């Protein structure tokens, strides 16, 4: 681990933690509003897992940054341009189908990535990945089942799931758009270069979409700017208005 640039490692950790934070937040918005009670419970479970992972990733990021900040400081006191999550996870929930499609597209990526992080040269990354990968193995199983069930359900559910896939597919490419940070992490053995995960991802997603009788759009266009922080969507700012409100309105208060 000696050769890793601290700033770059911190950026990598923010990418991991911001994905789980923002997606966990989005999923938690469903609480009390799901189509069936079992889904309410399952979505809350998923959100809880993601937020638990956030504490670990952002906690480690804060430790690496070494300026006395905490995971909470990172979650509640950064502005939108400091966030490093994929654009996909900050998109609004839409209907239940859109939420589950977003979840599956992310879970598939997350499970492939966490599988590789089990071999990380960084012990803390390895430990977090060990805990998270068990949870995410279940997430991807559940979201895949639901995508299949709704894709291969009624005419209406099929149409809604296809619309969700069409809407979200252009946000998939960003997962694999590597940059200098990824190359530095790969060189140090901390994390794989995401570009190398695409084939495994496509195989998994292709299998599930085929079973769901859904067609993957024939376009490789990818929206970018989330994981670099260069251009988030307008939605992130609104999400932060909710999430950070108390911390911003009452600075320094102990909750």
Partner 1 sequence: MYAQMVKSTGEGVKDRDAMSPEEAAFQDKVDADIKIEPRDWMPEGYRKTLIRQIGQHAHSEIVGQLPEGNWITRAPTLERKMILLAKVQDEAGHGLYLYSAAETLGVTRDELTEALLSGKMKYSSIFNYPTLTWADIGAVGWLVDGAAIMNQVPLQRTSYGPYSRAMIRICKEESFHQRQGYDIMMKMAQGSEAQKKMAQDALNRFWYPSLMMFGPSDAESVHSAQSMAWKIKINTNDELRQKFVDQTVPQAEYLGLTVPDENLKWNEEKGGYDFSEPDWSEFFDVLKGNGPCNHDRLNDRVKAWEDGQWVRDGLLAHAEKKAARKVAAE
Restricting to residues 133-152, which ones interact with partner 1 according to CB under 8 A? 146, 148-150, 152
Residue where the block lists tokens 């960003």: 174
One of 15, 25, 102, 232 touching partner 1 (CB under 8 A): 25
Count residues binding partner 1 (CB under 8 A): 51
The helix/strand/coil state of 37 is helix
Task: Identify the residue among 5, 7, 33, 179 touching partner 1 (CB under 8 A).
Answer: 33
Q: Which stretch binds partner 1 (CB under 8 A): 20-28, 61-69, 196-204, 221-229?
A: 20-28
Name the one residue in this structure whose structure tokens are 């490093």: 84
Least Å distance, CB 65 to partner 1, is 17
* Of 129, 7, 114, 21, the residue nearest 74 (C-alpha): 21
Cα–Cα dist 156/142, whole Å? 21
Taking CA 31 as the corner, what is the angle to CA 30 and CA 32, rounded to the nearest 5 degrees?
110
Site string for partner 1, 52-81 (x = CB under 8 A): x-xx--x------------xx--xx-----
Contact flags string 204-243 toward partner 1, x per CB under 8 A? --------------------------------------xx
**Which of 219, 161, 172 has the alpha carbon at shortest distance from 198?**
172
Closest separation between CB of residue 96 and partner 1, Å? 5
Distance CA 13, CA 17 (A): 6
């Amino acid at each position: 681990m000696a050769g890793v640039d601290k700033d770059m490692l911190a950026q990598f950790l923010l990418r991991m933690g911001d994905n789980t934070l923002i997606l966990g937040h989005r999923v938690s918005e469903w609480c009390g509003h799901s189509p069936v009670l079992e889904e309410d419970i399952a979505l809350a479970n998923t959100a809880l897992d993601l937020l638990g992972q956030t504490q670990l990733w952002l906690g480690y990021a804060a430790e690496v940054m070494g300026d006395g900040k905490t995971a909470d400081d990172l979650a509640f006191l950064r502005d939108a341009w400091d966030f490093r999550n994929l654009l996909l996870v900050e998109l609004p929930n839409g209907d239940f189908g859109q939420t589950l499609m977003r979840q599956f597209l992310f879970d598939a990526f997350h499970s492939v990535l966490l599988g590789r992080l089990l071999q990380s040269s960084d012990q803390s990354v390895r430990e977090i990945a060990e805990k998270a990968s068990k949870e995410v193995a279940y997430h991807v199983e559940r979201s895949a089942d639901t995508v299949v069930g709704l894709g291969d359900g009624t005419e209406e559910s099929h149409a809604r799931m296809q619309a969700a896939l069409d809407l979200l597919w252009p946000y998939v490419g960003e997962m694999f758009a590597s940059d200098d940070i990824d190359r530095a992490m790969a060189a140090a053995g901390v994390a794989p270069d995401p570009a190398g995960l695409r084939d495994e991802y496509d195989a998994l997603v292709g299998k599930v979409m085929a079973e769901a009788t859904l067609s993957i759009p024939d376009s490789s266009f990818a929206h970018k700017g989330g994981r670099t922080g260069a251009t988030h969507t307008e939605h992130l700012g609104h999400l932060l208005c909710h999430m950070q409100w108390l911390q911003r309105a009452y600075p320094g208060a102990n909750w």
